[in-house]
Structures are given as structure tokens and as C-alpha cells.
Chain A
């Protein structure tokens, strides 16, 4: 709680510094006006903003960096205390006790399951208050020092506006660096946990094994030896549902919709249909998932049974793939729409003037010219279908089968990630870490697909501009 107080104090210091800077500059201005000494370089507002920014930003940055450091320092301090040393050395159990004690110290929880955790609560509170006092005091001192520095510079000649703009520039750069930090955070966190997974399970087995049954690795020392972490069936299921069945539905429908809406439809029909398709794109995936599980899956199973396929499952790949295809239609349609619209009118006119019919023009001139954009859009759609989670979690099965039978049940990477991480959370086990390895693989696959697609789309767009 003390860090929140420090945050409030820093903001108060900044507000005070801003007001002081503003009033000092105003007084300077009236004095100069009275003596006829000319104007200030910057408006008083900028002097105030300059002081406020100096007071606030460095201290806030310090607090933001300190908060995660502090929580780790507190953990170490607690573990170093006599009560902490008495804890079991086994990581997983110790972490559970620590987490319980932390929540109790914060007041989120009344009592822990483990009796040891209550003995740690005073240690936690003590270490927390010690470190947050240190961090908070340093931050407040920094704010005061920076405010004093900025306020001392208030003078008629001082270029406060340039100073403010320099700070703003730093903020802008920091904001755009967050994108890189996010990417880095994803890669590092996935890598870190995956490396720990690969210490337990050899990478070769993960990549090329055809047996997936993480449930057998219940005991930590058993993991890896059970040979249950072969991810091939998961990737096959993902590709089967997302890249094959869904695309068989989505590509023809999406592409033909785009062609019809751009080339044939009456402008008013187009004006109505385009937003309608956008609505289809805006429907949350959990709704599609429920629709798939409730309506489509039983229908598909009945269809399979009536066709004489006795193995037809109520969690068939076909049901999940069909609904995912419907979800992807507007995506493909709008991407194709853009690339068809980008084909120069002159090419179309030329073909029509030669006597080709409209459909011949579209098939022989417009589509070949728009092909790179369409392909890029399809690649993006595949990347989206592969990473889609809720539809497959709700409609696809959990059995890892290597089958090409659309009526059978297959499982996907995302389904397994959800399954692995939403059981009882034991963070050290191979079962949990496997989710991060799957996540890393998924991230790399979609990254490659996205980069190829974005590159294709961009190069193509430049060609006609």
C-alpha cells in the first residue's frame, strides 16, 4: 500500500511544482511588462508544465521499475528469514505457500490451506513495508530534487517550451517502444518456460512424437520418461481444422462474396451487405463456439451416423472447422475486397473493350492482378484460424488423434494450452510448462505466416500505387 502512497505523493509534488513554475513565470511576466523589458521566451503554462514533467516522469519511471524488483526482494527476504528457511525445498510447494502468505498479507484471503503460510504473513508485511518505504522515499526525494532543479531554471530567457517538447518526445518514443517490449516479453517468457520444459522432455520427442497424453505425467519425476509429449497430433489437428476444413468453407465463399460485392452488386446492396459481413466479423468467438457446440456439432454427428460412419463424434473436426470457416468468411472477403479494388480501372477497361465479358475480365485480368493480395489475405486468415481458441475449446475434442476423418474427434494446440493451464496450477510440472512450449511453437508459426503475408500484401500494394 505504501507504494500507492508514494505514487500519490509524487503526483502531488508534480502538481505543486507545476503550479509554482506557472506562478513564478506569471510574476516574472508582470514584472517585465511593468518595466517594459519585453516578453518571456515561453508562456507561463510551459514553465509550469516543464516543472511538473521534471517532477513527475523520472520518479514515476523509478516507481514503475521498482515495483517488480520489490516483489522479488520481498520474496527473497521472506525466504531468508528463519520461518522461510524452514519451508520445504521443493519449489512447487514452496511457491504455493508463498503465494498464500502473500495474498493473506495483502488482505485478499483470510486463511491459507497450508499452516506454514500464516507464520509467514508477519514476515511478508514487515519486508513489504521495509522495501516500499525505501522505494517510496527515494521516489519522493527524486521528485523533489527534480522539481527544485526545474524551478531554479525559471527565467525570462529560459526556453521552457523546448524543454517540454523534449520531454514529450521522450514520452512518444517510450510509447512506441512498448510494442517492441511486448514482442520481447512474449518471446522471452515463452522461451524461458519452454527451455525449462525441454530440460524435462527432449525437443525431438516434442516435435516428432506422435503420442500426446500429458495426463500420464502426474508425478514430476515421471515426466519425460512417459513419452507422452509428442505434439504431432496436435499440430495435425490444428492444421486439419484451421487450415483445411475452415479454408475449404471460407475461401470460396469469401472470395466470391468479395467479387460479387465489388463487381456486380448494386451500390445500395453493397452498402448494406458490407456492414452486415463486418458484423459477422465482430461476433465474439465464444458465441461461435457455443453455436458450434450446441447446434452444428449434433447436426454433423447425425449426418455422419446417417452416412453410415459409426465413429462419428459429437466433437467432430468438421463441426469446429465449419464454424471456424464461417467466422473467417468476412476476413477473407474484406482482404480480397481491398486487393480487388486496388487493381487499376484501366486494366479492367482494356479487357472489357476487347470484348471480354465481365466474368472473363474478372477471372483472366482482375483476379491474376489481385492474386498476391488475395494470397496474403488467405495466409493471414490461416494464421488467425490456427490461433483461434474458443471455437475449438468448445466444439473440438480432447483426444489427440492422427486421423483424416472429418467426423472423428481431433484436438488442437490452443485447446491443449487451455486444457493444460486451467487445471490445478502447479507451475513447475512438465504439464504446465508444455503449454508454454506449445505457445512458443504457435507464436513462431503465426509469426512466419504473418511476416510472409504482410510482406506480400505490402509489395503488391506498392506495385499499383
Chain B
């Protein structure tokens, strides 16, 4: 490098240029590869879940003929018309009637054909039509988990043989599993549903929104519009920014120590879950709120101040309504995160087996992500598709909320 401008012979220059262009292409391809791989991961994840889960929304039903008058069932048709019909049915031993009838119809090895889902379904049909008890009737009932799996995929030879026999008699059909959306947790995988968990999630999120949204917005207003920079506001800012990045399980430990052990609030209740998640999502709302408030141009404030509004009126009558779409977008994203959160809720005891949907915010409840976690721990093979199906329900809700946030952002967000 003797002179600042170096001229190279033509061929060397061409070679170097070719090398540089090749490097350019390689770099670009690497980028494309990274994007494609990330997208492929997403697609693989979603397809796997859909593949395993979609069958969870359907189940197989088998036809069984029950001769009610000659069965051991002691049930008074009149009692089924009364208000205590549910209790009456629950008290009757439908399970053994089903075992006898199934055994009689399809051979002794078919006695275990039906599970608790079938007994529940039979009870419902009896309440709907008490006259069934006076005659011999053929009824379609959901089969037990082992047979359901055998009908859907490979399973043990005994169940496969039974399925083949049922299919030969044309007494097996596939229907939509409405119970999955209307029932709660159970020990028998054929009888489980997500309704209880959905209701628990709903109650928890309502508590979270009611607490986190007002507090978050007010804190954002204070920090952005009123706070003078001093040691206190710096401390607030640092703690909010840090809280937004604190692992969620730490909030669970806080909830356990403060809400359960110090305040003695009821365990595994949506109230405590909502409080814990509110502390977790509040910083997210504050940060989104501050950005939205910051983006409202100062001319709006000046104009309002100019016509004699007080500082409070400027903020609450003019700035906040204009910033609201941005705040809402951030809030919905925070809520979606809270909806999918599992770890802190495990800490406050929301992992118990709860078979009845909660009726209030102090009842023991579980939420959808925790339900997924609990089912994923079950050894019974029938829970695999139920877990994936519950994941599909959860992902649909997330997609709905994120879609709403994106719609709000595109529809209402203004560029000043």
C-alpha cells in the first residue's frame, strides 16, 4: 500500500468483486434462512398442536341397547321430572347398568366400553326423556378413553379388536365432543372439559383488568405529565422498568408470601391469582401508557391550557382520550400475557384438582394454562389429545386478543 489510490490489474479486480458479491449473496441467503427457519418453527409448533389436538374436539359414540324395566336400575320417572333430577341421576348406579348392557351386547370384554362420560350423558338423556325408563331403548353414548384412542389411532390389541367388532356392527360413530367445551376437569380423560378452567381464567383476568388498568394508567399519567425529575420519580421509573422484566415466578413467590401467608386470602382463588397477575401486568401497562401519552403532541396541551383549562383538565379531557387507543393496545397485549401465564399461579396453589367451575372470585379455581400443565402431567394416554385440544382453545383466545390489539392499533392510532 504505497499510494493511497491503488489500481489493480483488471482480472484481480474482477475476482475480488466476484468474491465480494458472492459474500453478499451468502449473507443475504443466511438472513433469508434465519427468517424461514423461525417461521418454520412456528408452523411446526402450530401444526403439531393442531395435529394432536383437533381429534380432541371429537369423540366416538357407541350404540347400546338398554332394557331399562329389566335392569337393576332403581329410578322413579316422576323424580326425574322434579327439581332434584340432577341429584337423583347422580345417585343412581348408571355405570353398572352400562357395564351390563355393553357386556350383553358386545361380549364380556366390552364391559369397560363406557366410562364416566357415558354415565353422565345417559343421565342427561334420562332427564330429557324420563319415559325411556319404561321401555327398551337404543342409545348412543360416548365410549371410554381406551376405546376412543383405539378408534382414532393405534392402541392395544384388545381395544382394537373391540373397535373392529363395533364397526362391523355399524354401532360406532364420530361426533363433536360438546362436553369438552361445557364440562370441567375429571379423572377420566373421556369426561374432561375446559369450561371450568375457562371460567377461572375469565374471573382471574377480570380481577387483573379491574386492578391493573386504572392503576397502570394513573401511574403513567403521573410519571409522564406531572412528575418532576427527582430521586423519588427516578426510583419509581427504575422499579417499573425492572418489574416489567422480573421473572413471573417471582411474582408468584410474592403472592404466596403476601396474599396467602400474610393476608390469609383463600388459596387457589381467582381473587389471589388476579391480584398477583395485576402486579405483574401493571408495569407493562405503565410503559405502554407512557409511550402513548408521550406521542400526543404538545400543541394539544398548549391549546387546552390557552383556553383556560387546568392542568388536570388538560390531561383528563384532552390528552388521555387521544392516548387511549395506544394504551388499550398495550393493555390487551399485557392481558394476553397474563392469560397465558402459568408459573405464578402454580405458586399460589392453583394446581389443585377442581371438578366444579368456580361461582365467584373466592372459590377455588384453576385457569386454562394451569389446566394444560396439569393434564400434561397425567400418565393416561387419553389426556394427550385433550391437552393439545386445550392448547388450541388457549391459542385461539391469544390470537383473538392479539388480533384485537393489532386492529385497534391500525384503526385508531394516529400519526401526528
Known: A273-B39, A389-B248, A443-B246. A175 touches B222 (CB 8 A): yes
Shortest CB distance B199–A (Å): 18
Q: Does A31 contact B (CB under 8 A)?
A: no
| B343: nearest chain-A partner, CB-CB | A389
**In whole angstroms, what is the CA distance A389 to B282 when docked?**
20
Q: Does B28 contact A (CB under 8 A)?
A: yes
A389-B391 in contact (CB<8A): no
B215-A175 in contact (CB<8A): yes
B402-A380 in contact (CB<8A): no
Q: Does B321 contact A (CB under 8 A)?
A: no
Q: Does A387 contact B (CB under 8 A)?
A: yes
Interface residues of A in 139-189 (CB under 8 A from B): 161-162, 165, 168-169, 171-173, 175-180, 182-183, 185-186, 189
Interface residues of A in 308-365 (CB under 8 A from B): 326, 329-330, 333, 357-360, 362-363
Known: A257-B35, A291-B49, A326-B41. A176 touches B246 (CB 8 A): no
- Point out the residue from A288, A330, A387 that lies within 8 Å of B249, measured CB to CB: A387
Residues 263-293 of chain A, each 1 if its beta carbon lies under 8 Å from chain B, else 0: 1110000000101111110111111111101
Interface residues of A (CB under 8 A from B): 67-68, 71, 99, 102-103, 106, 108, 161-162, 165, 168-169, 171-173, 175-180, 182-183, 185-186, 189-190, 192-193, 252-257, 259-261, 263-265, 273, 275-280, 282-291, 293-295, 326, 329-330, 333, 357-360, 362-363, 380, 383-384, 386-390, 393-394, 414, 417-418, 421-422, 425, 427, 435-436, 439, 442-443, 446-447, 450-451, 454
**In whole angstroms, what is the CA distance A457 to B27 when docked?**
26
Instruction: List, in ascending order, chain A residues with CB within 8 A of B343's CB.
Output: 285, 389-390, 393, 414, 418
| A386: nearest chain-B partner, CB-CB | B247
Known: A189-B253, A389-B247. A284 touches B222 (CB 8 A): no
Listed by A's residue number, 11 A-B pairs whose Cβ atoms lie within 8 Å are A172-B221, A172-B226, A185-B258, A253-B34, A261-B35, A278-B402, A285-B342, A290-B376, A383-B245, A389-B342, A418-B346
Instruction: List, in ascending order, chain A residues with CB within 8 A of B261's CB.
Output: 427
B254-A185 in contact (CB<8A): yes
| A356: nearest chain-B partner, CB-CB | B20
A280-B242 in contact (CB<8A): no
Interface residues of B in 235-256 (CB under 8 A from A): 235-236, 238-243, 245-251, 253-254, 256
B340-A284 in contact (CB<8A): yes
**In whole angstroms, what is the CA distance A175 to B282 when docked?**
10
Shortest CB distance B28–A (Å): 6
Instruction: List, in ascending order, chain A residues with CB within 8 A of B248's CB.
Output: 387, 389
* A contact patch SS: helix
A389-B249 in contact (CB<8A): yes
Q: Does B416 contact A (CB under 8 A)?
A: no
Shortest CB distance B266–A (Å): 6
- Point out the residue from B31, B263, B311 that lies within 8 Å of A257, measured CB to CB: B31
Known: A284-B369, A362-B27. A273 touches B35 (CB 8 A): yes
Q: Does B399 contact A (CB under 8 A)?
A: yes
A176-B227 in contact (CB<8A): yes
Known A-B contacts: A179-B243, A422-B346, A446-B246. Give 8 more (CB < 8 A): A106-B266, A179-B219, A275-B406, A290-B388, A290-B391, A362-B27, A439-B249, A447-B246
Known: A179-B219, A257-B38, A357-B23. A287 touches B31 (CB 8 A): no
Instruction: List, in ascending order, chain B residues with CB within 8 A of A450's CB.
Output: 241-242, 245-246
Instruction: List, in ascending order, chain A residues with CB within 8 A of B257's CB.
Output: 189-190, 192-193, 436
Q: Does B373 contact A (CB under 8 A)?
A: yes
A186-B266 in contact (CB<8A): no
